[in-house]
Amino acid sequence: MPVAIRSAPAVQTVDVTKVYRIGHVGYPALRGINIKVERGEFVAIMGPSGSGKSTLLNLIGALDRPTSGRVIIDGVDLKKLDEDRLSLLRNRKLGFVYQSFNLIQRLTSIENVEMPLISRGVPEKIRKARSLKVLNAVGLHGKASKRPAELSGGEQQRVAIARALVAEPALIIADEPTGNLDSKTTREVVDQFVQVNKGFGTTILIVTHNSEIAAMTQRIISLKDGLVDKEEYIQRLDSYSAA
Amino acid sequence: MFKLAYKALIDRKIRSVLTILGITVGSAIILALIASSSGLNAGIAGNIEKTGANILTIRNAGGFFSSGSTNTYQLSQQDITYLKSIPGVIAAYPYYSYGANINSGGESIQASVVGIDMVALPVLYKGLTVAEGSIPLLGDTTSAAIGWGIANPVSGTPIGLHQMVSMSITGIKGSKGAVSYAVLASGILAQYGTALFANIDDTIYISFQAAGLLAKSPYFTGIYVIVDNTDNVATVQNTIETYYSNNVRVISPGQILSSIQGITGQLTVFLGSIGAVSLFVATVGIVNTMYVSVMERTREIGILKAIGYRPKQIMGMFLAEAALTGVIGAFCGLALGYALSFLMGGMLGGLGGGRVAFGGGGGGGMTIVPVFSTQLIVFSLTFPVLLATIAGLYPAWRASRMNAVVALKYE
| Domain span including residue B237 | 54-251
Q: Which of 3.40.50.1980, 3.40.640.10, 3.30.450.40, 3.40.50.300 would CATH assign to domain A11-101+169-233?
A: 3.40.50.300
| Residue where a domain stops, chosen among B234, B251, B268 | B251
Query: Are B94 and B200 members of one domain?
Result: yes
Nearest chain A alpha carbon to B12? A106
pLDDT over 50 (residue B355): no
Query: Are B122 and B186 members of one domain?
Result: yes
Gap from B306 CA to chain A (nearest CA, Å): 7
At B65, the pLDDT band (50, 70, 90 cuts) reads very low
| Residue percentage of chain A with pLDDT more than 90 | 58
pLDDT over 90 (residue B303): yes
The mean per-residue pLDDT over the stretch B86-105 comes to 87
Query: Are B335 and B396 members of one domain?
Result: yes
Q: How far is CA A152 from the centre of its chain?
A: 21
Gap from A117 CA to chain B (nearest CA, Å): 9
pLDDT over 70 (residue B294): yes
Query: Of the candidates B306, B311, B408, which has its C-beta nearest A84's C-beta?
Result: B311
The mean per-residue pLDDT over the stretch B93-106 comes to 84
**Is A158 within 8 Å of A138 (Cβ atoms)?**
yes
Say yes or no: B161 contacts chain A, CB-CB below 8 A.
Answer: no
Which of B35-49, B116-130, B147-161 has the lowest average pLDDT?
B35-49
For Cα atoms B168, B172, B177, give the angle at the middle one, nearest 5 degrees.
55
At A236, the pLDDT band (50, 70, 90 cuts) reads low
Return d(Cα B50, Cα B193) in angstroms, integer: 10
Count CA atoms closer than 13 A to A223's CA, side-chain side.
27
The mean per-residue pLDDT over the stretch B148-166 comes to 84
Which of A12-21, A132-141, A152-161, B248-257 has the lowest average pLDDT?
B248-257
The more confident residue out of A242 and B311 is B311
Query: Are B39 and B133 members of one domain?
Result: no
Say what the pLDDT of residue B352 is.
47
Query: Of the candidates A58, A84, A116, which has its C-beta nearest B307's C-beta?
Result: A116
At B366, the pLDDT band (50, 70, 90 cuts) reads low
| Residue where a domain stops, chosen among B205, B220, B251 | B251
Sheet with A94-98, edge to edge strand ranges = A94-98, A171-175, A203-207, A42-46, A219-224, A227-233
Contacts of A58 in chain B (CB under 8 A): 405
What share of residues in chain B are helix, strand, coil (percent, to 5)?
55, 20, 25
* Distance set, CA A156 to CA A100, A194, B11, B25 (Å): 9, 18, 20, 43
Sign of torsion over alpha carbons B401, B406, B407, B411: negative
Which of A100-104, A236-240, B38-42, B383-387 has the lowest average pLDDT?
A236-240
The more confident residue out of A161 and B355 is A161
Gap from A91 CA to chain B (nearest CA, Å): 4
The residue count of chain A comes to 243
Query: Are B150 and B222 members of one domain?
Result: yes
Query: Are B344 and B315 members of one domain?
Result: yes
Query: Are B317 and B343 members of one domain?
Result: yes
**Domain ranges in chain A?**
11-101+169-233
B408 with A63: Cβ contact below 8 A: yes
| Residue percentage of chain B with pLDDT more than 70 | 90
The mean per-residue pLDDT over the stretch B85-99 comes to 90
Residues 6+ apart with CB under 8 A from B46: none
Contacts of B308 in chain A (CB under 8 A): 87-92, 94, 116, 119-120, 167
Which of A59-63, A202-206, B156-160 has the lowest average pLDDT?
B156-160
At A82, the pLDDT band (50, 70, 90 cuts) reads very high
Query: Are B214 and B230 members of one domain?
Result: yes
pLDDT over 70 (residue B197): no
The mean per-residue pLDDT over the stretch B244-263 comes to 78
At A173, the pLDDT band (50, 70, 90 cuts) reads very high
The mean per-residue pLDDT over the stretch B299-318 comes to 92
pTM, entire model: 0.67
Say what the pLDDT of residue B67 is.
46
Return d(Cα B94, Cα B221) in angstroms, integer: 8
Dihedral, A90, A96, A100, A106 alpha carbons, nearest 10: 60
Say what the pLDDT of residue A35 is.
94
pLDDT over 70 (residue B64): no
A88 with B310: Cβ contact below 8 A: yes
| Residue where a domain stops, chosen among B184, B216, B251 | B251
Q: A interface mutation test: which of B300, B307, B321, B408 has the most A CBs within 10 A?
A: B307
A119 with B404: Cβ contact below 8 A: no
Contacts of B312 in chain A (CB under 8 A): 84
Say yes or no: B300 contacts chain A, CB-CB below 8 A.
Answer: yes
At B358, the pLDDT band (50, 70, 90 cuts) reads very low
At B367, the pLDDT band (50, 70, 90 cuts) reads low
Query: Are B89 and B36 members of one domain?
Result: no
Contacts of B305 in chain A (CB under 8 A): 63, 87, 90
What are the pLDDT digits (tens) for A85-124? 999 999 999 999 998 889 998 899 999 999 999 999 999 9
Which residues lie across from A46 on neighbouring strands? A222
Return d(Cα A158, Cα A186) in angstroms, integer: 11
**Is B147 within 8 Å of B132 (Cβ atoms)?**
no
Return d(Cα B123, Cα B134) in angstroms, integer: 17
Say yes or no: B312 contacts chain A, CB-CB below 8 A.
Answer: yes
pLDDT over 50 (residue B354): no
Gap from A238 CA to chain B (nearest CA, Å): 35
pLDDT over 60 (residue A197): yes
Query: Are B273 and B330 members of one domain?
Result: yes
Say what the pLDDT of residue A46 is.
93
Longest dimension (CA), chain B: 99
Which residues lie across from A206 on neighbouring strands? A44, A174
Query: Of the candidates B10, B303, B404, which has its C-beta nearest A104's C-beta?
Result: B303
Say what the pLDDT of residue B49 is.
66
At B62, the pLDDT band (50, 70, 90 cuts) reads low
The mean per-residue pLDDT over the stretch B312-319 comes to 92
Query: Are B138 and B276 members of one domain?
Result: no
At B53, the pLDDT band (50, 70, 90 cuts) reads confident
Average pLDDT along chain A: 89
The mean per-residue pLDDT over the stretch A133-149 comes to 91
Say what the pLDDT of residue A19 is.
93
Query: Are B264 and B229 members of one domain?
Result: no
Gap from B317 CA to chain A (nearest CA, Å): 11
